[in-house]
Amino acid sequence: MLLGITDIYGQAKLQGTILDIETQKPVVGVNILVKNTAKGTVTDQQGFYSIELPFGTYIITFSAVGYRSQSRSVTFTDDVVLDLKLVNSTQELQEVVVTGKTPDQNVKGAQMSTIQLNIQTLNKIPAVLGEADIIKAFTLQPGVTTVGEGAGGFNVRGGRVDQNLVLLDGAPVFNTSHLLGFFTSVNPDVVREATLYKGGIPAPFGGRLSSLLDIHTKSGNEEQIRTSFGVGPISSRIIVDGPLIKNKVTFLASGRVAYPNFILSLFPEQFKGNRAFYYDVNGKLQYKLNDNNTIALSAYRSTDNFKFPEDTLYTWHSNLASLHWNSALRKDLVLTVSGIHSDYKLGMEGLKEQYQFLLASSIKHQEVKTRLFYALKSRHKLEAGANAIWYTLNPGSRKPLKNSIINPQTLQKEFAREMAAYISDEFLITPAITLQAGVRYSWFGNVGPRQVYSYTQGAPRTLEAIEDSLDYQHGKFIKTYGGWEPRVSLRVGFGTQTAVKFSYNRMRQYLHLISNTTAISPVDFWKVSDSYIPPQVVDQLAVGIFNNFKSNEIETSVEAFYKDITSLVEYKNGAVLLMNPIIETALLPASGKAYGIEVSLAKNKGKLTGQLSYTYSRSLAKVQADFATESVNEGAYFPSTYDKPHNAALSSQLLLGRGWTFSTNFVYSTGRPITYPDGQYVFNNTPVIDYSKRNLDRLPDYHRLDISFTKDTRVKKDQKRYSTWIFSIYNVYSRKNPYSIYFSKVRTVTRAYQLSVLGSFIPSLTLNFYF
């Protein structure tokens, strides 16, 4: 029978699972194409695929970024099971950042507003002090920013840092930064893949408004022990993995430790005398019970210390653990059951004589969840699941030390429950039209024990307005919330190289990060929704056009989005947040909106590769005050702290031959909003600075150029012992980008002071060894 000639009287199903030959993990997003036909599909989260074809003989091609393509000739007279293991392609090591999962997934996949990093190539990106960084790599993409250099967390489409759900092997990470924001807290050496969803967030996920950053770590090699380590100017890293029982039990262990004090001594005057330290460790065990059942245990711990000279010592710790059981009940039916633990603790120790104290706060997240995936023929991919979360929060406790005059104080703990269930379907309506539709219902309950205050009706909430209190016993519900969260994504293809996509999602967030600083700081604390603080809710719409050229060598995309947000948390002017036992008196309800357009042009093949991205966006907030004394900017919309209208990034990588690669980054953004003084007056013979309306001024614009040279010593694709050398220069032309501007009075004159965190060029050399 000739290739592509079919028997019209019968159909058969081709299905199977695609694994990584080294890690034995499922490969997500493998592109399966049937030659000389318009048929094709991609693998799901379990590496499973299924497609129906008329009887006949076909050439089936399997391809994925970072792997060597494979082709198989298959004759169909009945259903066929074809499992494959893909081999890593070292040619992909020359790539730097990959968007999408396969060369044409940006066009053919229904998902939009998604960015995936190829972690194998992260070291090619020029980075501060030579330290590869996941989040900084994402900020080169459209729609992702930070509030400033060295700031913790990240902002997606004008959202706040606490509106990002960051998962490490399914466990939430509450603090994503080391060294007060200079580095991501997850060691990139252990990461298999990292995917950022800016919109169209899949139905299994909820609890945050802006984005989902889903990070998966590597599994141990099944064949032999492997070791790699790296040495840089600020930290050293080591990773060991391999089999405990060959083809049965594997392990992975890694550690990273920092020694940043010398580097801190080179920073501006404001940082001199500071001392810092951090480390993080990862571990993973995977046990393959049989061909259909696998158990994986992942663990993570990190610790940070940062000491200001003769003043304050900050410490913060994260502990994560997740246990996953994956069971292939049938070839087309997969069940996953997970148990998850995450806790984040921070401490602040006062060191001044007579003012020594220890302040601590924490949040603990414990969760069980289940997911069921069913590939119904080749046109439907059904998924359903549920989860339950238990929260325990300590907003703050303060204990005096030695002969301190500081008073002890302990705030009430907070307890809450969150549950959700969902169902979704990816429906291949025609080869050109794919619909993803799902719905999630989430429920939240704030529970006792807790004492809740009531306030005078018709007056602002203040200490003086407290009328009564009510004590809730252990487990009794104080306040409950809930609602539906629909998710829809639609793809319409025009030929093989163009697609238009649309997405809508509603999200609810029951956790709030309480902070009066621009960036994440160690004194921030988490709070759950209660009688006075309802959950934040967002409705996001997005539409985009995606077009590839030259056999997917060049990718282009334009996306527009709009977000409408209710029940944001804002703060009263002069609010006291830390150790406030009646925090609801310092908070104000607000609404928000964000909108923008994102443009991306990427070249993914050839000696010269790179990406140009540009975003125009606005992020605005409005306080819904009932009383004039609580009004902010007279009730009008004002720029949020994360409103940076123009953002652009240009990254490139040039292969120079003999293992050398030259890389560059150039970034530009509008300065963030800030509140400047617009005058001063004298009160009781004391000059007082008078500030303008909130966030109506701006810092100067930000821009920076970085370069790096990378040497890969491999001469063979399958070489097991090799090294990489990375020389980089951060901020090549020594731009003194302002992080903030401070104002103080000198007698009767107000003076301004600009703080630039990294105001000069910073060279670094990092060495990595693999064997």
The residue with greater pLDDT, 333 or 416, is 416
Can you give the pLDDT at residue 751?
Answer: 65
pLDDT tops 50 at residue 716: yes
Domains in the chain: ranges and CATH: 6-88 (2.60.40.10), 105-770 (2.40.170.20)
Local confidence band at 10 (pLDDT 50, 70, 90 cut-offs): low
Distance, in Å, from the CA atom of 411 to the CA atom of 418, rounded to the nearest integer, reads: 23
Local confidence band at 160 (pLDDT 50, 70, 90 cut-offs): very high
Q: Helix (H, G, I), strand (E, B), or coil: what is residue 292?
A: coil
Q: Quick one: CA torsion of 692, 696, 699, 704, rounded to 10 degrees?
A: 170
Can you give the pLDDT at residue 598?
Answer: 97
Beta strands in 627-695 (DSSP E): 638-639, 646-657, 660-669, 673-674, 677-683, 686-691
What number of helices (H) and strands (E) belong to the chain? 3, 50
Task: With beta carbons less than 8 A apart as the criterion, state whether 439 and 203 touch.
Answer: yes
Average pLDDT over residues 256-278: 75
- Residue type for position 341: H
Can you give the pLDDT at residue 706?
Answer: 92
Query: pLDDT tens-digit profile of 410-468?
Result: 999 999 999 999 999 999 898 899 999 999 999 999 999 999 999 999 889 999 999 99
Total-model pTM: 0.86
Average pLDDT over residues 323-332: 90
Local confidence band at 674 (pLDDT 50, 70, 90 cut-offs): confident
Can you give the pLDDT at residue 325?
Answer: 96
Q: Which among 355, 406, 496 has a CA at the least distance from the CA of 38?
A: 496
Mean pLDDT is lowest, of 23-32, 35-44, 488-497, 739-748, for 739-748
| Beta-bridge mates of residue 507 | 538
Distance, in Å, from the CA atom of 736 to the CA atom of 509, rounded to the nearest integer, reads: 37
Can you give the pLDDT at residue 94?
Answer: 36
Average pLDDT over residues 60-72: 82
Buried b vs exposed e over 241-256: b needs ≥16 C-beta within 10 Å? bbbeeeeeebbbbbbb
The residue with greater pLDDT, 104 or 226, is 226
Distance, in Å, from the CA atom of 269 to the CA atom of 756, rounded to the nearest integer, reads: 10
Mind giving me the DSSP string for 436-486? Answer: EEEEEEEEEEEESSEEEEEE-TTS---GGGEEEEEEEPTT-EEEEEEEEEE
pLDDT tops 50 at residue 504: yes
The residue with greater pLDDT, 522 or 727, is 727
Q: Mean pLDDT over all residues of the chain?
A: 86
Distance, in Å, from the CA atom of 740 to the CA atom of 315, rounded to the nearest integer, reads: 24
pLDDT tops 80 at residue 766: yes
Q: How far is CA 715 from the centre of its chain?
A: 36
Query: pLDDT tens-digit profile of 367-414?
Result: 999 999 998 777 888 999 999 999 999 999 999 988 889 999 999 999
Q: Per mean pLDDT, which of 238-242, 686-690, 696-700 is the most reliable?
A: 238-242
Mean pLDDT is lowest, of 35-49, 225-239, 583-597, 725-739, for 35-49
Distance, in Å, from the CA atom of 390 to the CA atom of 611, rounded to the nearest integer, reads: 42
Distance, in Å, from the CA atom of 110 to the CA atom of 432, rounded to the nearest integer, reads: 10
Average pLDDT over residues 488-493: 94
Q: In sequence order, which residues have a C-beta less than 8 Å from that of residue 565 and are 6 or more positions away?
A: 209, 536, 537, 538, 591, 592, 593, 594
